[in-house]
Structure 1
Amino acid sequence: MTNAPSGFEYRVVGDGELIITHWGRRATTLRGATAENFLLDVTKQDSQELMARATGNYKRGNERTAKNHPRNSTL
């Protein structure tokens, strides 16, 4: 079972500006070539995963390891 990203939406505003929101709150704004590349990629890939990566809001696979690290233990 994987935790796929959800709750992301995007809209194009202004002159080539793209806003990505997560559960209705602005997560990031893409402009210029970055916004153009995003629009090209969103038709080829999972849009939720792509938006999660664009905002930096995605699982990295090390959460369990970090949780068990001595630095993060509660005494």
Structure 2
Amino acid sequence: MPRPQGFSYTEQPDGTVLIAHQSRPATTLRGPRATQFLAEVESGDPQLVMARWTGNYKRGNERTARNHPRNRH
């Protein structure tokens, strides 16, 4: 799986974290979720962490879903 790219985040003075993908807002985190996100970003690969938190990453089940009888055309 290729490494995600183009993610950035900004921590606001009130503790809110804004995550953007290619300069477009992707998600906003507040409170304990923002704190947890910041801890994960510091301990791991920031691009992978941001991709996971925004839900913008491949999960590995795309081929399985494509082959499911319900999704065949």
Scaled by the length of structure 2, what TM-score is found? 0.87
CA drift at 1:26: 0.7
Q: Which residue of 2 aligns with 1:43?
A: 42
1:23 CA drift (Å): 1.1
Q: What is the distance in 2 between the residues matched to 1:4 and 1:70?
A: 31
Aligned to 1:33: 32
Write the letter of the residue equivalent to 1:10. Answer: Y
SS in 1 for 2:52: helix
Residue of structure 1 equivalent to 2:59: 60
Letter in 2 for 1:12: E
Q: Deviations over 1:15-66 (max 9, x none)?
A: 0010001111111001111111211221110111111111111111100111
Structure 2, unaligned stretches of length 5 or more?
Answer: none
Aligned to 2:23: 24
| CA–CA separation in structure 2 for the residues paired with 1:3 and 1:63 | 15
Paired residue secondary structure (1:27): strand
Ranges of 4+ aligned residues in structure 1 off by more than 2 Å: none
Superposition map of 1:9-20 within 5 A: 9-20=8-19
For structure 1, the residue ranges without an aligned partner over 5 or more in a row are: none
Give the Cα separation in 1 of the matches to 2:37 and 2:60.
24
